[in-house]
Amino acid sequence: MSTIVLLLVTGLGLGALYFLVASGLSLIYGLMDVLNFAHGSFLTIGAFAGYELSRLLGGDSWWTLIASMILGALVGALAATATELLLIRPLYKRLIEQVLVTVGLALASVALFEGIWGTDALFTQGPAFLSGTTEILGARIPNDRFLYIIVAALVLIGLIAFLKFTRYGLIIRAGVENRSMVTALGIDVRKAFTLVFAIGGAAAGLGGVLASHYFGYVSPQLGGTLLIFAFIVTVIGGLGSLAGAAIASVVVAVFQQFANFYLGGTGDLVVVLLLAGVLLVRPSGLLGKKA
Amino acid sequence: MKPPILRVDHLRATVAGQQVVEDVSLEVGTTGVTALLGRNGVGKTSTIKAILGLIERNGLIEFDGERIDREQTHRIVRRGIGYVPEDREVFSKLTVAENLRLAERDLTPNRALVEEIFPDLTARGQQAAGTLSGGQQQMVSLARALLNTNRLLLVDEPTKGLAPKIVAEVSDALARAATTVPILLVEQNLQVVRQLAETVVVVEGGRTVYSGAAHELLDNDELVMRFLGVHAADGAEQHQEGAQ
């Protein structure tokens, strides 16, 4: 029983990180049809920004952690906004070129990060509480998992509230359904594009700071590592569906944890099989729009 | 005589590299309804979309004396052009109220007018637009255009697939709108055209082949048969049969 509880909660914690990356990916694809391969770079630069601030302020206080998360989100949002304005917007309606430019940016940014911070992992330090454990139903749960779950839940609630109660949220929901009709109502949908990129970048940057505590280090490859699973989550959840991304994040991460424990470390293989199974049964994903 | 509110000259348009409008020229006056007619697939909807910049186009398009053929769609619409698309294109996952709120461009939208013409929509405000009947979705689509103070409405097949009773309601709503704003109307139902339009433009093979007073065309059975493939008196019945 305690093992199952442990795997479930750690799976939820990992799923929270997947969601922070996948939510932006899903929104960006849903509105703009852009598969953003540079999304991992927003995560990595957010993680490095958080690491630098943590090093500056001393990494063992909650205030430092909170400040790092805010800075990571801001830097992620700025990087994403610049990417949309400078690289994606000039290629508007040229979807293949847009995808290719994000692939190029992903490769170039890893090289840039290696040039600035080197290729070695840089170890992170957080509040002592995060290194401890809490016992639940006999399972000793690493405390940091609770942080990831709470932050991801807050981001999910914030995104839902934004989409539901603001005019830009309304534009984004409508744009995911029928972008050209939104423009035919006199709305400059490109502003929504930039905003969605910024929101996705902020979530990824925040995820980067949390991922640096999950793994215990920052490296130029951090974003790429999580991006693969975030893409799988996005496809399983249904491209364009925030709720789908949230559900799929948890499902994928929990499956991964259970398979790693019970099936001899085959978590990654099981996730790919899960992806194949969902695509065979529901090609548009769990909650995706019909093709 | 006042200059036209919309002037289209030698318009060509493509969709996915295929020429869908070859050479369309037309004018819409500052009042009344101009009907854009033609058989299925001749380029009527593409002409409307090209005017709005929703598809690639070239040629001259002037709105109120200013060229708009290089402008982006949202800027064209913001000049005061309302659009009611073919097949309604309501946002099915949004509620009726959200569909209308999204369409509001003006600081003081004409909500009272919309509530008066379409009282049913107010009652269904919290219903997902995708669950409405075809007629109700058409009401939403028309209401979106009427919410704002426009200087021209582009209305594409508003009665397509609707039951006769709803066709009459839509026609009445358009007739009322036409008292305040000129309309370029794509319509297959000749009874509706006869009721609403003063002038007609006929497109064939992506080209303008006729323009003139509506009654001159509709009273000439030979011309109607040649351009539209129906007898003038049969146009409405054939359209209604399609709605069954």
Tell me, yes or no, whether A283 lies in a domain. Answer: no
Domain-embedded: residue A240: no
Q: Collect all residues from A whose CB is shorter than 8 A from any CB in B.
A: 167, 170-171, 173-174, 177-178, 180-189
Chain B residues contacting A, CB < 8 Å? Answer: 52, 54, 72-74, 77-78, 83, 85, 89, 91-94, 98, 101-103, 105, 144, 148
Half-sphere exposure of A112 (CA within 13 A, CB side): 11
Q: Which segments of chain B does DSSP mark as H helices, in order? A: 44-52, 73-78, 96-103, 111-117, 119-123, 134-146, 164-178, 190-196, 214-218, 221-228, 235-242
Q: At A263, which amino acid appears?
A: L
H helices, E strands: number in chain B: 11, 10
B64-75 mean pLDDT: 96
* Domain span holding position A110: 2-224
DSSP character at residue A285: -
Counting every residue, how long is chain B?
244
Is the pLDDT reported for residue B34 higher than 60?
yes
Out of A50-54, A154-158, B183-187, B231-235, least confident range: B231-235
Per-residue confidence band for B183, with pLDDT thresholds at 50, 70 and 90 = very high
Query: CA of B217, closest CA in chain A: separation in Å?
Result: 32
DSSP assignment of B64-91: TTEE-TTS-HHHHHHTTEEEE-TT----
Cα–Cα distance for residue pair B136/B138, rounded to 1 Å: 5
Q: What is the pLDDT of residue A72?
A: 98
**pLDDT over 90 percentage in chain B:** 77
The 8-class DSSP code of residue B104 comes to -
* Residue in B92, B93, B103 nearest the CB of A185: B103
Q: Do A186 and B74 touch (CB under 8 A)?
A: yes
Domain count across chain A: 1
CB contact under 8 A, A187 and B74: yes
ipTM above 0.85, yes or no: yes
Q: Which residues of B190-201 are buried (b: 16+ CB within 10 A; e: fewer)?
A: bbbbbbbbebbb
Any idea what DSSP says for residue A90?
A: G
CB contact (8 A) between residue B74 and residue A189: yes
Per the domain annotation, does A63 fall within a domain? Answer: yes
Give me the residue from A173, A180, A186 closest to B105, CB to CB: A186
Does A242 fall in a domain?
no
Q: How far apart are CA B68 and CA B66, in angstroms?
A: 6
Contacts of B94 in chain A (CB under 8 A): 170, 173-174, 177
The sign one gets for the Cα dihedral B71, B77, B83, B88 is positive
Residues of B in contact with A188 (CB under 8 A): 72, 74
Q: What is the pLDDT of residue A222?
A: 95
Residues 6+ apart with CB under 8 A from A240: A26, A27, A29, A30, A31, A176, A288, A289
Residues 6+ apart with CB under 8 A from A148: A13, A14, A16, A17, A210, A214
Q: How confident is the model over A35-68, as pLDDT tens digits? A: 899 999 999 999 999 999 999 998 789 999 999 9
Q: Residue A193's closest CA among A103, A98, A106?
A: A98
Chain A hits for B85, CB-CB cut-off 8 Å, are 181, 184
**How many Å lie between the alpha carbon of A228 and the closest alpha carbon of chain B?**
30
Question: Model-level pTM?
Answer: 0.87
DSSP annotation of B206 reads: T
Dist CA B101 CA B126 (whole Å): 12
Residue A97 lies in a domain: yes
Joined tokens for residue B88? 């309604």
Q: Is the pLDDT of residue A94 over 90?
A: no
Nearest Cα to Cα of residue A87 among A43, A23, A37 = A37
**CA atoms lying within 13 Å on the CB side of residue A67:** 15
The residue among A168, A185, A242 with the most chain B CBs within 10 A of its CB, best to mutate, is: A185
Q: For the segment A104-140, what is each residue's pLDDT rounded down to a tens digit?
A: 999 999 999 999 999 999 999 899 999 999 999 989 9
Decide if A260 is inside a domain.
Answer: no
Averaged pLDDT of chain B: 91
Alpha-helical segments (H) within A126-188: 128-131, 143-165, 167-177, 179-183
Contact A184 B52 (CB under 8 A): yes
Task: Inspect the interface and report whether the beta carbons of A181 and B85 lie closer than 8 Å.
Answer: yes
Q: What is the pLDDT of residue A35?
A: 87
Confidence bin at B243 (pLDDT 50/70/90): very low
CA neighbor of B143 nearest in space, from B158, B121, B124, B159: B121
Is residue A73 domain-resident? yes
